[in-house]
Amino acid sequence: MIDGFTQQKITVDGVTLSVHIGGDGPPLVLLHGYPQNHMTWARVAPGFAKTHTCIIPDLRGYGESDAPMDDPAHETYSKRRMARDIIGILDALGYEGAAVLGHDRGARVAYRMALDHPERVHKLGIIEIVPTGDFWADWSADLAMKAYHWTFLAQDAPLPERMIGADPVAYIDWTLESWTLDKSLAVFSPDALASYRLQAQDPEHLHGMCADYRAGATFDRALDEADKAAGRQITCPVRFLYAEGGFPAQTGDPAAVWRSWAADLTTRSCVSGHFAMEENPQAVLDCFTEFFEA
Amino acid sequence: MFEGFHPFTHDSGEAQIYGVIGGDGPPLLLLHGYPQTHAMWHKVAPKLAESFTVVAADLRGYGRSSKPETTSDHAPYSKRAMAKDMASLMEGRGFLKFHVGAHDRGARVAHRLAIDFSDRVEKLAVLDIAPTREMYANTTDAFARAYWHWFFLIQKAPFPERMIEPDPDAYWKKKCGSGVAGLTPFTQHAMNDYLAAFRNPKTIHASCEDYRAAATIDIKHDNEDGDFKLKCPVLALWGVHGAIEAHFDCLALWRMRAREVQGEALPAGHYLAEELPDEIITQFNRFFAKD
């Protein structure tokens, strides 16, 4: 749980999603990444909640949301489908639109939501990614070593599921630790860490999380490439925050990649590993409070 | 397997190397790849032994060979160290000049052997690889997806080890059975040998170290060689259904590292010596024959 927040279950297209809600003011959707859930926002959500109604779902396949079986085309875990989940949540809660802030996989859902449903996303905040199609296009041996999980998790089921499932806690601990600046689990609160470990021990969620990456390597990527070819743009204001010790910082010029998708872009960086909301919560709050309140 | 061959163990000074030897004629060393053993040559070795003295050995870290402790720079699993074992092993059999036929990781060892012992390796045949440095330099997203294990196995110890150890059979069968031929290239006898070796956590660790070395110290050694090109003739064969064909210009990359290169794609996947044994026998007999 996040202090001061309440939990609701909302069913969208037969998939029941867990949503934590708190605060007061215009709606702000916060979307977590891999291998996490809503708990990654626990340190910053109370700050955002002073001026916004924060809506914090667990993506399908993660946390306390359902984790349906994937389909051969990986449409089930496409970012298009996950974005529709979030639209369904906004519909159920009676919001016409919202500001959306995403980290990691959640940021991929957030920008897909801005592309597919431009009228529903007023402002878009992105933490620690470049778009899926651009990331794959820039692949090299160096990147393949650092982001090995993109090719590993995208292997056909059930190999990654079985390998992770043999010792899920060791896998989760290693993954989290290796992406922090300090190479330490100490940055994660005990509650958050326990929730990340718990979801990885459930075979259905383990499958869902792998399927998220299978979709990234196929369905999501193809959609990005088609949008790029068609010259489609994100029309709302975009704020991009990257961590100095994270993935985008190692991929050339991430701000230039985002500028090719969004004319109204501002970029900031902060001292952190990949998990900026947990490693440097004040930087995340400062960066996006300024952006969403402007 | 290997009827008429004799098993032996050679002390290279750093490792105990297991091998089998048989046949008559000029010496031919055969080196296996990942995650296999010398047994991968069992379909071709008896026939080749009619024309050559055939030596098929397990690389250090694999099969019945010993698994030396590694170091933080992965030097004990550098292709240089693995090649030195093989030069020593052949010298121990009385061979200071010999041919090498090698597959996969063994072919990377063989490439280093031909550089570091250029006066000993007379001809080199490599199956389904391009040179390591050139493959890394030309890595694309599509190749990284096909050879995901290159990037997984090099993650810091003991992470990949711990993920493979609980169910090595499942990993092995998925890894080796993902080609168009599935698991059909592998006979039961050979598969028993591979799996028995791979169930040993020390083999799993050593084979990860083989890949970690390839991504670091082996490339450093390659870079120290600069534009050096092998003088011995090179035969490069690869599978038309494999990743080398799909993602690289195999002959062009070998011509960056060797003066005299010939070769072609064969109608198979990665495991050429087990998928097309007759073709490999013909190709090796022709290539290694006296000029």
Evaluate if residue A110 carries a pLDDT over 90.
yes
Q: Would residue A15 count as lying in a domain?
A: yes
Evaluate if residue A251 carries a pLDDT over 90.
no
ipTM of the complex: 0.90
End-to-end CA distance of chain B: 31
In sequence order, the 6+-apart residues with CB closer than 8 A to the CB of B32 are B38, B39, B40, B41, B56, B58, B59, B62, B63, B102, B103, B104, B105, B106
Evaluate if residue A294 carries a pLDDT over 90.
no
Q: Would residue A234 count as lying in a domain?
A: yes
Q: Which residue in B139, B150, B171 is closest to A140 by CB distance?
A: B139
Active-site choice (A104, A134, A220, A227): A104
User: What is the extent of the structural domain holding A101?
Assistant: 6-293
Evaluate if residue A35 carries a pLDDT over 90.
yes
- pLDDT recorded at residue A287: 98
- pLDDT recorded at residue A138: 86
- pLDDT recorded at residue B113: 98
pLDDT band at B235 (very low <50, low <70, confident <90, very high): very high
Question: Best residue in A132, A135, A163 to probe B by mutation, most B CBs within 10 Å?
Answer: A163
Q: What is the mean pLDDT of residues A253-280?
A: 97
The model's pLDDT over B122-171, given as tens digits with 9 standing for 90+, comes to 999 999 999 999 999 999 999 999 999 999 999 999 999 999 999 999 99
Q: Is A177 on the interface with B (CB under 8 A)?
A: no
pLDDT band at A252 (very low <50, low <70, confident <90, very high): confident
- pLDDT recorded at residue B40: 98
Q: Would residue A1 count as lying in a domain?
A: no
End-to-end CA distance of chain A: 30
Q: What is the mean pLDDT of residues A18-30?
A: 98
Evaluate if residue B17 carries a pLDDT over 80.
yes
- Which of A40-67 are b and which e, b meaning 16 or more Cβ less than 10 Å from the residue's Cβ? bbbbbbbbbbeebbbbbbbbbbbbbbbb
For residue B245, the distance in angstroms to the closest alpha carbon of chain A comes to 18
Evaluate if residue A223 carries a pLDDT over 90.
yes
Q: Are A17 and A65 in contact (CB under 8 A)?
A: yes
Q: Would residue A280 count as lying in a domain?
A: yes
Q: Is A171 on the interface with B (CB under 8 A)?
A: yes
The model's pLDDT over B251-279, given as tens digits with 9 standing for 90+, comes to 999 999 999 999 999 999 999 999 999 99
Q: Is B159 on the interface with A (CB under 8 A)?
A: yes
Q: Would residue A240 count as lying in a domain?
A: yes
Q: Facing residues of A243 across strands?
A: A270
CB contact under 8 A, A144 and B170: no
Percent of chain A with pLDDT over 70: 100
Q: Would residue A21 count as lying in a domain?
A: yes
The model's pLDDT over B144-154, given as tens digits with 9 standing for 90+, comes to 999 999 999 99
Query: What residue in A sits closest to B173 (Cα-Cα)?
Result: A159
Evaluate if residue A266 carries a pLDDT over 80.
yes
> B42 vs A233, A286, B46, B112, B271, CA distance in Å?
59, 66, 7, 24, 13
* Structural domains in chain A (count): 1
- pLDDT recorded at residue A232: 97
Evaluate if residue A32 carries a pLDDT over 80.
yes
Which DSSP string do the residues of B17-31 spell out, in sequence order? EEEEEEESSSEEEEE
- Tell the residue number behind the tokens 């390591």, with chain if given: B132
In sequence order, the 6+-apart residues with CB closer than 8 A to the CB of B249 are none
Residue A91 annotated as catalytic: no
- pLDDT recorded at residue A1: 79
Which DSSP string do the residues of chain A spell out, in sequence order? --TT-EEEEEEETTEEEEEEEEESSSEEEEE--TT--GGGGTTTHHHHTTTSEEEEEPPTTSTTS--PPP-TT--TT-HHHHHHHHHHHHHHHT-S-EEEEEETHHHHHHHHHHHH-GGGEEEEEEES---HHHHHHT--HHHHHHTHHHHHTTSPTTHHHHHHHTSHHHHHHHHHHHTSSSS-GGGS-HHHHHHHHHHHTSHHHHHHHHHHHHHHHTHHHHHHHHHHHTT--B-S-EEEEEETTSSGGGSS-HHHHHHTTBSSEEEEEES--S-HHHH-HHHHHHHHHHHHH-
pTM > 0.90: yes
pLDDT band at B90 (very low <50, low <70, confident <90, very high): very high
Evaluate if residue B291 carries a pLDDT over 80.
no
Percent of chain A with pLDDT over 90: 94
For residue B182, the distance in angstroms to the closest alpha carbon of chain A comes to 14
CA distance A262 to A106: 18
Q: Would residue A71 count as lying in a domain?
A: yes
The model's pLDDT over A194-206, given as tens digits with 9 standing for 90+, comes to 999 999 999 999 9
| Mean predicted lDDT score pLDDT of chain A | 96
Q: What is the mean pLDDT of residues A160-172?
A: 95
Active-site choice (B58, B85, B104, B128): B104
Residue B73 annotated as catalytic: no
Evaluate if residue A250 carries a pLDDT over 90.
no
Q: Report the CATH number at residue A243.
A: 3.40.50.1820
Q: Would residue A135 count as lying in a domain?
A: yes
- Give chain A's radius of gyration (CA, Å): 17
Evaluate if residue A39 carries a pLDDT over 90.
yes
> A117 vs A76, A81, A250, A284, CA distance in Å?
18, 12, 30, 25
CA distance B142 to B215: 18
The model's pLDDT over B221-232, given as tens digits with 9 standing for 90+, comes to 999 999 999 999
